[in-house]
């Protein structure tokens, strides 16, 4: 064996032993300490670190400093907190005079995983968009949610087509989100794949069916307190009738978010204080569903909602709207109820259908548990990391 061949082999062995450097960017804003959309990239980071890869994440300060990442930081995760743009820094960023991503992009990465809370997030983050266009690092994108009306102009469509076309792979969490994106952009994604969001805590069996003292049914919505996306205002208006006030039920909104005070005011406005309450953020989803019978998730914008996956895993039926993967999970009349529209009057009609079949809630909940047991992805990081590794080699 010649010296040149030995040197070539040693060089190859050195490259093989070199740890991949993975950079992760989350576009979720700083209004939340954690979000369901972060679970997917967190699982990817967990697998990458276990393989000895170097992983750095650029995220909103509240996300980057979240206790959800404590164990990963101990395992070597590097976090770069990002503060929100204000009116001045946004104008500067739009003119390429200010950037919060310099430190991240100054580090060499073999591949970048861009986790986007919505289909058009990069359009609204000018300092990120500039670096995506400038960087030649291989890119994998996760799209966590989509909805009608998010993409509004041809200029936005051109930007988004160029960004998604540059990616090695675009991961969608629901078929609905992908089909809607194709219509929004008038473009077929050449590089799309579907990977559903995970069930964070697999359950071997559904939870026992809750008792209903005096026949009272307990409804819950587990979602961000954000009426634009989750439409708590619509469900409150739908329930604001004498017929519903005279029935035996309670509704609790679980979660936190920017519209908490607005929702409280709406509860007062519609005279529903005796029926509706706010339960705050509860991290243990089983604690919620031990005591509630029906999940009401009246979303306008979704990906594959973790809260719906979790309630179904607990054996609870759901009333959902046509948003994201909700109708891919819930078949009307089998696992719960699908509202054909989102207007309060349409929601009220769906609620009436549900009330008429309330004696079948337990049976539907059992079917919901079986449905999620068949479909649930308990570790999407294991599925995504090979995609990232392939992109790094390209």
Q: What is the pLDDT of residues 269-321, one digit of tens each?
A: 999 999 999 999 998 999 999 999 999 999 988 888 889 999 999 999 999 99
Task: Give CA–CA dist 248/234, Å, rounded.
Answer: 20
- Cα Rg, the chain, nearest whole Å: 23
End-to-end C-alpha distance for the chain, whole angstroms: 30
d(CA 304, CA 129): 25
CA 8 to chain centre: 46
pLDDT at residue 18, rounded to an integer: 62
**Rounded to an integer, what distance in angstroms lies between the CA atom of residue 61 and that of residue 79?**
9
Spatial separation of the C-alpha atoms in residues 252 and 179, rounded to whole Å: 33
Q: What is the pTM of this model?
A: 0.83
Return the pLDDT at 8: 38
Q: Quick one: angle between helices 260-269 and 232-239, nearest 10?
A: 10
Output phi, psi for 28, to 5 deg: -60, 135
CA nearest neighbour of 193 among 394, 389, 393, 383 = 383
- Measured at the alpha carbon of residue 116, what is the angle toward residues 112 and 122, in degrees to the nearest 5? 85
Instruction: Tell me if 28 sits within 8 A of 35, measured CB to CB.
Output: yes
pLDDT of residue 78: 96
Q: Is 18 left (phi over 0), alpha (psi -120 to 50) or beta?
A: beta
SS3 state of residue 145: coil
Residues of the chain with pLDDT under 70: 1-18, 213
Nearest to 295 by CA among 215, 221, 236, 239: 221
Domain ranges of the chain: 11-197+378-393, 213-375
Burial (CB count <10 Å: 0-12, 13-18, 19+), residue 208 = exposed
Other CB atoms within 10 Å distance of the CB of residue 279: 14
The Cα–Cα gap between 313 and 361 comes to 14
Give the number of other Cβ atoms within 10 Å of residue 162's Cβ.
12
Second-level CATH architecture of 11-197+378-393? 3-Layer(aba) Sandwich (3.40)
Instruction: Give the model confidence (pLDDT) of 130-167 as tens digits.
Output: 899 889 999 999 999 998 889 999 999 999 999 999 99
Contact indicator for 249, 218 with CB cutoff of 8 Å: yes
Tell how many helices (H) and how many strands (E) occur in the chain. 19, 13
H or E element that contains 392: helix 380-393
Q: What are the residue ranges of helices labelled H in 81-196?
A: 87-94, 102-106, 126-134, 154-166, 175-185
Instruction: Write down the residue that tokens 């008429």 correspond to.
Output: 356
> Chain-centre distance of CA 72, in angstroms?
20
Torsion, CA 110, CA 164, CA 321, CA 252, rounded to 10: 40
Q: In 10 A of CB 211, how many CB atoms?
A: 9
- How far, CA to CA in Å, does 373 sit from each of 53, 98, 359, 368? 32, 47, 23, 9
* CB atoms near residue 374 (< 10 Å): 7
Q: What is the pLDDT of residue 203?
A: 80
CATH number assigned to the domain covering 213-375:
3.40.50.2000
CB-based burial label for 154 (10 Å; 0-12, 13-18, 19+)? exposed
Do the beta carbons of residue 189 and residue 182 sit within 8 Å?
yes
Distance CA 226, CA 163 (A): 28
Q: Dihedrals φ, ψ of 217, to 5°? A: -95, 145
Pull the structure tokens for residue 136: 């030649």
Give dist(CA 319, CA 354) in Å, integer.
Answer: 8
- 71 contact partners, CB below 8 Å, separation of at least 6: none
The two domains 11-197+378-393 and 213-375 share their CATH topology (first three levels equal): yes
């Amino acid at each position: 064996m010649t010296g040149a061949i030995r040197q070539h082999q040693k060089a190859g062995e050195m490259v093989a032993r070199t740890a991949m450097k993975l950079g992760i960017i989350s576009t979720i804003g700083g209004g939340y300490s954690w979000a369901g959309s972060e679970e997917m990239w967190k699982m990817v980071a967990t697998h990458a670190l276990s393989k000895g890869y170097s992983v750095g994440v650029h995220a909103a300060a509240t996300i980057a400093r979240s206790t959800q990442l404590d164990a990963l930081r101990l395992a070597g995760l590097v976090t770069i907190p990002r503060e929100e743009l204000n009116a001045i820094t946004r104008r500067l960023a739009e003119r390429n005079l200010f950037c919060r991503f310099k430190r991240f992009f100054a580090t060499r990465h073999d591949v970048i995983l861009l986790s986007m809370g919505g289909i058009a997030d990069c359009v609204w983050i000018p300092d990120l968009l500039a670096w995506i266009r400038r960087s030649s690092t291989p890119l994998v994108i996760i799209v966590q949610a989509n909805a009608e009306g998010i993409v509004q102009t041809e200029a936005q469509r051109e930007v988004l087509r160029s960004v998604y076309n540059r990616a090695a792979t675009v991961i969608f969490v629901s078929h609905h989100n992908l089909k809607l994106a194709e219509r929004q952009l008038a473009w077929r994604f050449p590089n799309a794949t579907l990977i559903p969001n995970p069930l964070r805590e697999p359950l071997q069996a559904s939870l026992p069916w809750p008792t209903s003292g005096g026949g009272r049914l307990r409804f819950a919505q587990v979602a961000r307190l954000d009426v634009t996306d989750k439409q708590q205002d619509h469900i409150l208006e739908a329930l604001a009738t004498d017929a519903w006030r005279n029935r035996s039920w309670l509704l609790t909104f679980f979660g936190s978010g920017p519209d908490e005070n607005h929702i409280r005011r709406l509860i007062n406005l519609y005279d529903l204080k005796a029926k509706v309450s706010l339960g705050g953020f509860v991290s243990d989803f089983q604690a919620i569903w031990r005591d509630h019978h029906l999940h009401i998730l009246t979303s306008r914008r979704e990906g594959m909602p973790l809260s719906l996956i979790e309630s179904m895993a607990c054996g609870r039926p759901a009333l959902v709207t046509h948003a994201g993967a909700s109708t891919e999970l819930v078949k009307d009349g089998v696992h719960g109820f699908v509202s054909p529209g989102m207007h309060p009057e349409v929601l009220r009609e769906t609620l009436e259908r549900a009330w008429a079949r309330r004696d079948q809630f337990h049976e539907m909940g059992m079917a919901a548990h079986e449905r999620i047991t068949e479909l649930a992805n308990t570790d999407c990081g294991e599925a995504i990391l090979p995609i990232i590794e392939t992109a790094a080699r390209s």
